[in-house]
Amino acid sequence: MKKKFLGKLLATAVAITCVANASVISNFVTAETGIKYEFEDGTYSSKSEFGNEIEGFSGTGYVDSQEGDISLTVSVDKTDIYDITIGYCLPEDRGSKNQILVINGNSQGEVGFAPSDTFKEMKVKSIKLNEGENTITFQKSWGWIIFDYLQIDTAVLPELSVSTKLSDPNATATTQSLMNYLVDNYGKHIISGQQECYGDADEKEFEYLYNLTGKYPAIRGFDYMNWTQGVNWDDGTNRRIIDWVNNKKGIATVAWHWFVPLDMNNYTPGQSLGNGQVAFYNKTSGNTPYTTFSPAKALTEGTAENDFINKDIDMIAKSLQELQDQDISVIFRPLHEAEGGSSLDGSYSWFWWANDGAETYVELWKYLYNKLTNEYGLHNLIWEWNSYAHETSSAWYPGDEYVDMIAYDKYNANGSPNESSIASTFYSLVEMYNGKKMVAMAENDTIPSLENLTAEKAAWSYFCVWYDRNPLFLSDSNYQNADTVKELYQSDYCITLDELPEDLRTYKSEQPEQPTTEAQTTPAETTPVETTPAETTPVETTPAETTPVETTPVETTPAASEEITIPTDVDAKLYGDVNDDGSVNSTDIVTLNKFLLAPSTYSLKSPVCYVHADCDNDQIISSKDSMLIINYVLQVITLDELGLNSEILN
């Protein structure tokens, strides 16, 4: 592994650190006073117009951008990182809108504005401004935003402090090792990545990079787009993943462009679908062919849509199981780029999985997560979720317990390479998700330059250029400056394939050791255990009894000094509901296993929780109870079989 690259990235008093199992220490703050600029004093085209009819504006009025662009020249006394606050109004009948933020001629990507009939503020975080004059432009994407004022404040960057804890409490030791490695390098390095072209056997992108830089990327991007009923083509993706991880010693990230039927009204389960009868785009994307496939129907048992996605998930599960059998872990990025433009109803989305809006999308993500993790027993996945940086984006977030990393896809080249690190997007995402998750550039056109990454302090976990086919994202001078790519690949800041640990499966974190609170199983230990209600003897694969790598086995029965008494005067409401939230799920497994590992430290919150944890009703809380809950979550046993006293349950 490379030496820590300090350089410009850590030259300021604000250190970027990674401490395992810690929370964000500080949030974004701005100076108490700032410089304020009125948009009516700026430059705007004839397609925009001045106005003062809407009450509540600052200065002499405002500018309705309509179909035009608007620019302001601002001045700062030193080159630094700044926050900008925009005062704006966006009448509800116009809906959500996006604008392209351009700083000194360089696009920083789209900024989403939520509707508001009155003037309100929104912030764009961490923009690098040069000493002296700078031009800030809001370029029309959809337009029609009413701009009032802009304020400049010096930014104070947060510490990047994320946990190594995975959302899956039963993640394999190899998966945890990969997560540890990613966290250790977050804020210190950027890891290089390159997407392969699906179905291709050639190494075009990878040989180009090696010939240019003398290096291969550390991460290779794959896509399961052909592994569904609609295509059903084994294009060798798994074979290449296995080769990349086992033989090349690289890191794999896997996306899934999920094909579904174009017309569900005329589809029957099991029907063979030919070319042109499936798509993953929806009708609002502007692409053809497109599908109107409904996620809400797909989540409804008994529908043709539900039958279809379940069969597709089964196909994907078999592919992922093949990897797990070889102890291969991947960064898994399904259901990507859901929101599209700023919205809650999916009206500006690209893909079918957002067709029914944010709330349904979140349930679809959870459905897929639970199917693969809990039903199929796949514990070799680091779950990566794609976000936008709009005001509405957090509504699409499935939740911390279902996500391990945040991803953003950068496409902002416009006829020439855009080497900006888009630090404003990076830090907006850090703040949006409370600094709990690493933020990565899961797809991109232009690779940010080394100078911009370090000067703008954009600590992306990794980048991954999209493949070099129509258009040529990697080799075309309209997207990449070859010298810039070479400089970054050869720098101490960028990790390449040859600089990964010899064996990531046994990587030991540089972070201080933390107490292990959940079991981590090896691939052979993830198969659901077939039990009958009477068979409550624990099997060898119970999470409470699995020994984490390089640690001392923990006794699962409380020590005598911590003997637990099960209350006899409290009635059970739902056996297995260890956290007493009204349902039995993987969270209860985690809660119980933490308790078994350290009863005093992780005591249950109420007497009824102890009763619920004693699933076999033997007055002892042990790994047998944990195993019963696991088998219920895996649908091996029923709820009645989970709580042996069915009279109480009924």
Q: Among 469, 504, 539, identify where a domain stops.
A: 504
149 - beta bridge partners? 38, 87
For the stretch 531-589, pLDDT in tens is 333 333 333 333 333 333 333 333 333 333 344 678 888 888 899 888 888 888 777 78
Q: Which of 473, 504, 535 is the last residue of a domain?
A: 504
* 108 located within any domain: yes
Segment 92-125, tens digit of pLDDT: 999 888 898 999 988 887 888 888 999 999 888 8
Q: Are residues 50 and 102 in the same domain?
A: yes
Instruction: Please write the tens of the pLDDT for every residue from 20-78.
Output: 222 222 223 333 348 899 999 999 988 999 999 999 999 999 999 999 999 999 999 98
Cβ neighbours of residue 615 closer than 8 Å, sequence gap 6 or more: 575, 576, 624, 625, 628, 629, 642, 643, 644
CATH assignment at residue 370: 3.20.20.80
485 and 348, same domain (yes or no): yes
What's the pLDDT score for residue 606? 86
Q: Do 136 and 190 reside in the same domain of the chain?
A: no
Asked if the structure places residue 498 within a domain, the reply is yes
13 inside domain: no
Nearest to 370 by CA among 354, 381, 358: 381
Residue 399 in any domain: the answer is: yes
Show the domain range for 299.
Answer: 173-504
Note whether 549 and 601 are same-domain residues. yes
Residues 373 and 232 in one domain: yes
Domain boundary among 107, 125, 156: 156
Instruction: Let me know the angle formed at the C-alpha of 642 by 636 and 648, rounded to the nearest 5 degrees.
Output: 150
Of 243 and 525, the one with more pLDDT:
243
Same domain, 553 and 439: no
In a domain, residue 19? The reply is no
pLDDT value at 10 more than 50: no
Per DSSP, the residues of 30-52 read: E-SS-EEEEGGGSEE-TTSEEE-
Report pLDDT digits (tens) over 608-649. 888 898 888 888 888 788 878 877 876 778 777 777 543 333
Does the pTM of the predicted model rise above 0.85?
no
Higher pLDDT, 597 or 402: 402
Q: Which residues pair with 127 in a beta bridge?
A: 82
Same domain, 105 and 189: no
Could you give the number of structural domains in the chain?
3
- Is 6 a member of any domain? no
